[in-house]
Structures are given as C-alpha cells and as structure tokens.
C-alpha cells in the first residue's frame, strides 16, 4: 500500500482517525480482497502474448497508456509495436506517440501518422480509467482492429468499491493508492452488445478481452442500468463473463 505523507498535525490526526476505522470488518475484508487479487496469476502480458501466439503471424500491437514500458509494453512479443501515452503520470515518457488516445486516433484518421488504413491485431486499452474515456477508446479501437484481432482491457474487475472509485487522487481508504477506476462500466456496457464477444480473465485486476469472431459466450443479461457497484459485486461472474485463464485458453481449442 502507498505511504501517505504526513504534512502537518491536523493531517496526522485525520490519518490516525482513519486508520482506527479501517480496522472494522468491512475495511479488513476490503484489504483482504485486494491482497487476494495481487496474488493472482498470470499477468496481463502473459495473456497478450498468448493471443499473439494464437494469431500465428506478424502481429501489430498498440498499447494505449504505457507509463513504464518495462512493466508491460517491452514484454509483448509482437513483430510491430506502437505506444501511446500523453505522460500525465511521469515526466519520462518514452513512447512512439506522446499524446492522448483521442488525439492519436484523430491524427491516425487524418492521415497525419502511420497510414489511414492502419489495422492493429491487438490493442491494449490501459489509458485513462474513466468509463467515458474507456468507451471512446473501445469505439476507436474497434475501427482500427483487424477482423480477427483482439482488444484487451486492463482493470475490468475491481475487487472492492474503493478500487472502483472515480477519483484517482483519493487515497484515504483501506486500499490506499490502488485504482481500477470505472473501466468496468465501459466493459460491462460492451458486454451488452450482441455483435462483439467478450469475457474477462480473472487475474491481474480483470483482463477484459473483446473479439469480433471468437465466441466467448453470450452477452450479459444482468440488469444494472445505473452501473451500481453492489449489483456488479453480486453478479460479478455473469456481468463480466469472468473466466479462469485455463477456461480462456479453452476457447481457442474448439
Ligand atoms: C495504468 S498506466 C498504464 C500501465 C501499463 N499499460 C502497464 O500495463 O503497466 C495508465 C497510463 O495512461 C496514461 N493516460 C492517461 N490519460 C490518457 C489518455 N487520455 N490517453 C492515453 N493514455 C492516457 C497515463 O499517463 C498512464 O501512464
């Protein structure tokens, strides 16, 4: 968990108060769920590399939201790779396109970068974790995805409502700075679509996968018009089509 800097006495008292209250059952359970999530394997890059192998050709990979390339981007075994990140979290931002995902797709569609008809085989969406933005990223990614390609989405399965908060900066909770944001809402909305297959591998904070032609099962029937976290929590498996990695690999054996 992230250490919270103590700047003055008043803040210190607030923190002590919060820590005391973090010790109730509700908060202890939240902490345990976060620890359980951290212990899950495989990682997102193992799943992406599995998909690279399934495509069995020269794969073109795009990563939206990179932060530290060594954590994921560098591990991807694709022949051609592109990275997009405006660098909001770190000054050092060694990517191909140092712009937001919206600006990247605008430039791509205007023919200012790469070529207008560029198609990616795997697009990893892991930029700004707010549902509206993630929905735009999904729409843009679908336009530039090869027919048998995959969209992979990080942070689709927040283990607690603290992880699913909107405000990234609020860290006074049992899960500190851990943040999945509201990505799950954009993923869940896509799970309602009948023209795209979707599932979520139950590991590494929920690795969502979208495909136009691999049948991962039917769309979600869960009614959650207001995207309530408690409804997600009570219907996690059917909301997200949560599957183990072994089950996920099984989709490709049929
Ligand atoms: C969670 S990190 C990415 C982690 C990385 N993909 C990994 O697997 O280790 C999120 C990144 O998204 C970037 N970001 C924020 N807003 C963005 C936007 N509108 N478009 C693209 N990237 C964005 C941030 O700068 C940050 O580096």
Q: Each residue of 227-237: pLDDT tens digit?
A: 999 999 999 99
The protein residue with its alpha carbon nearest to ligand 1, atom 14, reads 127
Q: Does ligand 1 come within 6 angstroms of the Cβ of 126? A: yes
- CA of 20 relative to ligand 1 center, distance in Å: 33
User: What is the distance in A from the centroid of ligand 1 to the CA of 85?
Assistant: 6
CA of 62 to the centre of ligand 1 (A): 13
Exposure of 231 by Cβ count < 10 A (0-12 exposed, 13-18 middle, 19+ buried)? middle
Ligand 1 center from residue 129 Cα (angstroms): 8
pLDDT of residue 201: 98
Cβ(70)–Cβ(131) below 8 Å:
no
Before 214, cis peptide (omega within 30)?
no
From the number of C-beta atoms within 10 Å of its C-beta (0-12, 13-18, 19+), residue 196 rates as middle
**207-211 and 197-201 as β-strands: parallel, antiparallel, unpaired?**
antiparallel
According to the model, what pLDDT value does residue 22 have? Answer: 76
For ligand 1, say whether the CB of 159 is within 6 Å of any of its atoms.
Answer: no
Answer whether 48 contacts ligand 1 (Cβ < 6 A). Answer: no
Protein residue with least CA distance to atom 18, ligand 1: 100
CB atoms within 10 A of CB 63: 27
Evaluate: CB of 76 within 6 angstroms of ligand 1. no
**How far is the first Cα of the chain from the last one, in angstroms, to the nearest whole number?**
42
The Å distance, Cα 63 to ligand 1 centre, comes to 9
pTM metric for this prediction:
0.93
Structural domains of the chain, ranges and CATH numbers in brackets: 9-250 (3.40.50.150)
Q: Model confidence over 102-157: pLDDT tens digits?
A: 999 999 999 999 998 899 999 999 999 999 999 999 999 999 999 999 999 999 99
């Amino acid at each position: 968990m992230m250490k919270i800097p103590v700047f003055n006495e008043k803040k210190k008292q607030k923190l002590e108060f919060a820590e005391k209250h973090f010790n109730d059952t509700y908060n202890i359970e939240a902490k345990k769920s976060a620890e359980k999530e951290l212990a899950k394997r495989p990682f997102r890059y193992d799943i992406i590399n599995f998909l690279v192998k399934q495509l069995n050709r020269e794969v073109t990979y795009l990563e939206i939201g990179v932060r530290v390339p060594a954590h994921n981007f560098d591990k991807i075994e694709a022949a051609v790779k592109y990275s997009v990140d405006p660098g909001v979290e770190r000054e050092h931002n060694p990517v191909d396109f140092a712009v937001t995902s919206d600006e990247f797709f605008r430039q791509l569609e205007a023919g200012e970068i790469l070529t207008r008809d560029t198609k990616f085989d795997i697009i990893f969406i892991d930029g700004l974790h707010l549902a509206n933005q993630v929905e735009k990223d999904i729409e843009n990614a679908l336009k530039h995805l090869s027919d048998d390609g995959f969209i992979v989405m990080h942070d689709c399965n927040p283990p607690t409502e603290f992880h699913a908060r909107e405000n990234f900066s609020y860290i006074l909770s049992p899960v500190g700075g851990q943040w999945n944001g509201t990505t799950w809402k954009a993923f869940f909305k896509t799970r309602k679509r009948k023209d795209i297959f979707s599932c979520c591998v139950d590991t590494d904070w929920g690795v969502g996968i979208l495909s136009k032609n691999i049948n991962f099962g039917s769309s979600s029937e869960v009614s959650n018009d207001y995207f309530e976290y408690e409804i997600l929590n009570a219907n996690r498996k059917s909301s997200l089509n949560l599957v183990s990695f072994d089950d996920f690999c099984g989709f490709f054996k049929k």
